[in-house]
Structure 1
Amino acid sequence: MASYAYVDKLKTTYVLAKDCNANDIGKDFYCPDPDCNGVVHLCAYNSNHVNNYFKGNNHSNNCSFYKNNVNYRINNFNTLDFSPSNLLSHIQQPTNNKNKNNSNGKAKKTKLNVKKTNKYIHSIKSLYYLAINYPIDKEINGYRISDLVCYNKTSHIYIKYIKGLKLIVCKFHRYDSINKCIYFNYHSKQNIIKIKAYFNDVKMYTDIKNRIYGYKGNVLLFANWSIDSNYTYATITTAKQITVTNQEHNSV
């Protein structure tokens, strides 16, 4: 499912599903994934329970929408506490020390507010699913998606290096058990940016290495990245900073 689609094959102009009208039913639109030429159509226009969305069945095998049948909407989240630094702080906290969100106080005024208050962007997968579901100029609590996520939609922006707090969508390359590092590749429009993830915890390094070794899909890495002459690098301090998409072959 996608919240927007392109109106032309060259993908120069997009339209949000919520802005479509009855005349758009049955029209051909084009998949938001820049690496996919699939055709999508407007769905759920007459529904009182589901937001409008685009759906198609002829996506490429590597299309993020073809493999992720999710319908994330920013307005379903409470984003008032969202920032890249807050997300990193949250996932670095031990699980048993985190304050559980509840629906006390103002959140009890309406069912809608309860729903929003109880759903936060507190995982890197939540940020990823929102990023693939919106144009890169969309903002989340004042932060543009293009400034938050390095993936195929922003590969024309991050062409030489990646620096700062970013979610990187990349591919596993190799590992180095002597130095406890795992290497990844991010494919920009011009070249490959080499990613190096350090681990101070041997068990965490081993667990993550065993989980992603040989994995061909996308790997999500969230960290405060630095650069040297060869690599974009960071130290991973919690397993929640790295995950795989576990993409299934579902249609949008």
Structure 2
Amino acid sequence: MVLYAYIDRERTKKFYAKEALKEDKKKRYYCPSPTCDAHMYLCSVDGVSSAYFSATRKQHSHRQGCGFEASNNFKPQNFDEASFDFENVLEAMRKLNKSTVKNKKSILHKNGEAHSKPLRTTRQIYEMCKSYPCSHKYNNLSIGKMLLDDRSEYMYPKGVFGNRIIESKVKRGIFYDSTKMELRLVAPSSKKYELILQFADKSLFLDIKNSLYKNRDKLIILSGLWESSATFNSFCTKIVNKSQIVVLNKLK
């Protein structure tokens, strides 16, 4: 679900679904992506679920590769925003192992209800970021400082540095170097930046390479600690865990 859209084509007037009334349901709104002309409409305004925007008209759906065309299950009420620490979560993801996953079971109240927990996966953080404008702040950190996509590209005039999640696509042509164990992607849709994924583990490299080869037409969400590769507009990160990469599937 998308929690906001734009009233005007120029995308100067944001409109949040939570502010909507029943009479707003028939109005057409504009996709948050500046490169997508999908017709967005309000859903669940008069229902028990929280209101959200969706491109419900097949003849006016999202452009191919739009980051808002995939399913999004983010529900703010299910997560503890105040305890979310973006830097710590991304660092923890790079250290994630099987024993850590097993121990991450929900903690229950005495009455059997589960505590809400902070976002902790690449997919969860990505879905949260796509639900809000890039200027919106989630626990005092702006969305654009967490996610690089078409909307926030203007916030990265000199490149991508530090912990970031990036919406990318596999680079056309030969995108891998088996000798160096590197994979190459581009981001955002303007292809302004080249992204180099570096591996130390050969089996992980081969696994991810095969997965990306099969999904070259899809959006790939990357989580990493980014630094310059010493080549203009090229940035690299080390991939040590599958949790750093998500293949984004379209809405079914």
TM range (shorter): 0.7 to 0.9
RMSD between superposed Cα atoms in Å:
2.1
Q: After the TM superposition, which residues 91-106 of structure 1 pair with which residues of structure 2 at under 5 Å, given as runs?
A: 91=93, 92-98=95-101, 99-104=103-108
Q: Which amino acid aligns with 1:28?
A: R
Checking the alignment, whether the CA contact within 8 Å between 2:72 and 2:127 is kept in structure 1 is yes
Unaligned runs of 5+ in 1: none
Deviation of the 1:176 alpha carbon:
0.4
> For the residues of structure 2 that align with 1:69 and 1:233, how far apart are their CA atoms?
28
In structure 2, the residue matched to 1:132 is: 130
Deviation of the 1:110 alpha carbon:
8.7
> For the residues of structure 2 that align with 1:153 and 1:165, how far apart are their CA atoms?
18
In structure 2, the residue matched to 1:177 is: 178
In structure 1, the residue matched to 2:211 is: 211
Is the aligned partner of 1:64 residue 2:64?
Answer: no
TM-score relative to the length of structure 1 = 0.86
In structure 1, the residue matched to 2:23 is: 23
Is the aligned partner of 1:229 residue 2:230?
Answer: yes
Q: After the TM superposition, which residues 1-252 of structure 1 pair with which residues of structure 2 at under 5 Å, given as runs?
A: 1-47=1-47, 49-56=48-55, 57=57, 58-59=60-61, 60-66=63-69, 68-91=70-93, 92-98=95-101, 99-104=103-108, 107-108=109-110, 111=113, 114=114, 116-117=116-117, 120-173=118-171, 174-187=175-188, 192-213=192-213, 215-230=216-231, 231-245=234-248, 247-250=249-252
SS in 1 for 2:81: coil
Q: Which amino acid aligns with 2:125?
A: L
Quick one: structure 1 residues 241 and 178, their matched pair in 2 at CA, closer, same or farther if it must change by over 3 Å?
Answer: same
> For the residues of structure 2 that align with 1:248 and 1:141, how far apart are their CA atoms?
29
Quick one: structure 1 residues 97 and 69, their matched pair in 2 at CA, closer, same or farther if it must change by over 3 Å?
Answer: closer
Checking the alignment, whether the CA contact within 8 Å between 2:67 and 2:219 is kept in structure 1 is no
**Identity of matched residues, %:** 24
Deviation of the 1:208 alpha carbon:
0.6
Checking the alignment, whether the CA contact within 8 Å between 1:155 and 1:188 is kept in structure 2 is no
SS in 2 for 1:182: strand
Unaligned runs of 5+ in 2: none
> For the residues of structure 2 that align with 1:22 and 1:78, how far apart are their CA atoms?
29
Q: Which amino acid aligns with 1:205?
A: F
Q: Which amino acid aligns with 1:193?
A: Y
> For the residues of structure 2 that align with 1:43 and 1:110, how far apart are their CA atoms?
31
Q: Which amino acid aligns with 1:136?
A: C
Deviation of the 1:115 alpha carbon:
5.6
Any idea what the Cα deviations from partners look like across 1:101-130, whole Å, max 9, x if unmatched?
4333xx44695xx3624xx41110111111
TM-score relative to the length of structure 2 = 0.86
> For the residues of structure 2 that align with 1:102 and 1:172, how far apart are their CA atoms?
35
Checking the alignment, whether the CA contact within 8 Å between 1:124 and 1:167 is kept in structure 2 is yes
> For the residues of structure 1 that align with 2:81 and 2:112, how far apart are their CA atoms?
17
Quick one: structure 1 residues 27 and 70, their matched pair in 2 at CA, closer, same or farther if it must change by over 3 Å?
Answer: same
SS in 1 for 2:53: strand
Checking the alignment, whether the CA contact within 8 Å between 1:74 and 1:140 is kept in structure 2 is no
> For the residues of structure 1 that align with 2:194 and 2:99, how far apart are their CA atoms?
35
> For the residues of structure 2 that align with 1:159 and 1:81, how far apart are their CA atoms?
30
Checking the alignment, whether the CA contact within 8 Å between 2:106 and 2:115 is kept in structure 1 is no
> For the residues of structure 2 that align with 1:95 and 1:89, how far apart are their CA atoms?
16
SS in 2 for 1:152: coil
